[in-house]
Amino acid sequence: MLISSLLARSSLVNAPLRLSRFFTQARRVYKEEEPTAPPSPTTEQPGQKYTHFGSKTVLKSTKQKLVGDVFSSVANRYDLMNDVMSLGIHRLWKEHFINKLDAGKRPNSTTPLNFIDVAGGSGDIAFGLLDHAESKFGDNESTMDIVDINADMLKEGEKRAMEQGKYFKDPRVRFLVSNGEVLEEIESDSKDIYTVSFGIRNFTDIQKGLNTAYRVLKPGGMFYCLEFSKIENPLMDLAYQQWAKVLPVMGSMIANDYDSYQYLVESIERFPDQETFKSMIEKAGFKSAGYESLTFGVCAIHWGIKV
Ligand SMILES: COc1cc(O)cc(C/C=C(\C)CC/C=C(\C)CC/C=C(\C)CC/C=C(\C)CC/C=C(\C)CCC=C(C)C)c1O
Ligand SMILES: C[S@@+](CC[C@H](N)C(=O)[O-])C[C@H]1O[C@@H](n2cnc3c(N)ncnc32)[C@H](O)[C@@H]1O
């Protein structure tokens, strides 16, 4: 446990790797739209026509489809790719996230919690949260909505539930295809805990997603997000620049998919730093917002409370 958290909080330093792109393969082509000043996640205006898809500027209306293609493509190799790309460290981040949130119906309470895990296709966070609630608090009543815009990713989560013999066709657990920016099926003020892990970076309008998180939470409800962030140490950042170059090559070798992992790298680069994202959470209305950087800031946990 100690070693796990040390690993998650510090880092493994590899000799910088320099691999050039040596695979020729069918590439998805993203139709470039007329170039405009690229919006930033914080300055994006509601009426704006264009947004980013990785480093490309695309019509807002096309981004959802492009992100959909990426996750349909990676769905069946998702776990393997994450283990390889992160040397297994993503599991430690997720474990730390779940333990830090420490959610579940307390034994002296009569009211189960309503969880929502947005962009939760793989089920990693949702199942982990329910396991934690049960093992730590004996809570087997709280409910979980696992929401994802991509049906293929949700199917992976359902498959996992079936394989592990837990949370499949469980009346407490719903799998919903829905856009986290809107969550139209989810009533306002209805959830106690909102989680999103490695998902919000892919939203077309991140601020809209945060506003929606605020809408669906009950007063007193908690927002918790695990997402890539900015590496604070320049030497580690240099190591990242090298590692990031290799990720699409790994995607090509293991999943025959260079482009999705190139998108991953570009979307990480575009995501706001810790302080900027915190101010977006505050802008949505959350109080007591804060964050914890993990592994030198490779990723961070952000939170906020709806008062
Ligand atoms: C297409 O979109 C995606 C596809 C997918 O399979 C996963 C995601 C979401 C991502 C995850 C759940 C985690 C995946 C992990 C990584 C991308 C790599 C994270 C990197 C590390 C834990 C560091 C390991 C590398 C080293 C020790 C070498 C030295 C490098 C650094 C210290 C910095 C490396 C930092 C980054 C690569 C960010 C998805 O959206
Ligand atoms: C990298 S995966 C994260 C899965 C899981 N939460 C985890 O931590 O392993 C990103 C997920 O975000 C989903 N996603 C992207 N845009 C979304 C949106 N607007 N609404 C809901 N889900 C979205 C994708 O379909 C994909 O399943």
Cα–Cα dist 259/67, whole Å: 11
CB of residue 92 inside a 6 A radius of ligand 1: no
Q: How far is the CA of 245 from the centre of ligand 1 (A)?
A: 11
Distance of CA 278 from the midpoint of ligand 2 (Å): 20
So what's the pLDDT on residue 42? 55
Check residue 54 and give its pLDDT: 81
289 CA from centroid of ligand 2 (Å): 22
52 near 268, Cβ under 8 Å? no
**Does some domain include residue 265?**
yes
- Has residue 223 been placed in a domain? yes
179 in a labelled binding site: yes
Distance from residue 169's CA to the centre of ligand 1 (Å): 32
d(CA 263, CA 20): 17
Domain membership flag for residue 79 = yes
> Which token pair is 111?
């009211």
Report pLDDT for 3.
39
Please check whether residue 54 lies inside any domain of the structure: no
> For tokens 């082509």, what's the residue?
29
Give the model's pLDDT for residue 1. Answer: 39
pLDDT score, position 61: 85
How much is the pLDDT for 2?
36
* Rg of the chain on CA atoms, in Å: 19
Q: Which of 287, 304, 283 is nearest to 194 (CA)?
A: 304
Find residue 196's DSSP bridge partners: 118, 225
Has residue 255 been placed in a domain?
A: yes
Q: Which CATH number does the domain housing residue 226 bear? A: 3.40.50.150
Atom number in ligand 1 closest to CA 236: 32
Domain count, the chain: 1
Say how many Å lie between the CA of residue 20 and the centre of ligand 2: 29
Q: Is residue 11 part of a domain?
A: no
Q: Which atom of ligand 1 is nearest to the CA of 78?
A: 6
Residue 144, H or E segment = strand 143-148
Residue 302 to residue 128: CA distance in whole angstroms = 18
Whether 161 is in the pocket of ligand 1, judged by its Cβ within 6 Å, is: no
Protein residue with least CA distance to atom 7, ligand 1: 82
Ligand nearest the Cα of residue 90 is: 1
Residue 4 confidence (pLDDT): 42
Q: Which of 93, 202, 265, 301 to mutate to test the pocket of ligand 2 (most atoms within 8 A of CB)?
A: 202
Helix (H) or strand (E) run with residue 221 in it: strand 217-228
Mark 240-269 as b/e (b = at least 16 C-beta within 10 Å): beebbbbbbbbbbeebebbbbbbbbbbbbe
pLDDT at 46: 62
Q: Is the dihedral of CA 90, 247, 209, 70 positive or negative?
A: negative
Which ligand 1 atom sits nearest the alpha carbon of residue 240? 33
Going from the Cα of 192 to the center of ligand 1, the distance in angstroms, rounded, reads 30
Interatomic CA distance for residues 75 and 179, integer angstroms: 17
Q: What is the mean pLDDT of each run of 10 residues along the chain (307 residues)?
A: 40 32 39 48 67 88 92 94 97 98 97 98 96 98 98 96 96 97 98 98 97 98 98 95 96 94 96 98 98 97 98
Neighbours of 40 (CB within 10 A): 11
Query: Residue 16 falls within a domain, yes or no?
Result: no
pTM of the predicted protein model? 0.89
What is the interface pTM, i.e. ipTM, of the complex?
A: 0.93
265 is in which domain, residue-wise? 75-96+110-306
CB 225 within 8 A of CB 197: yes
Query: Is there a domain that residue 282 lies in?
Result: yes
Among 149, 183, 226, which is best to mutate for testing ligand 2, by the most ligand atoms less than 8 A from CB?
A: 149
* 203 Cβ inside 6 Å of ligand 2: yes
- Residue pair 178/209 in contact (Cβ under 8 Å)? The answer is no
Which atom from ligand 1 is nearest to the alpha carbon of 77?
6
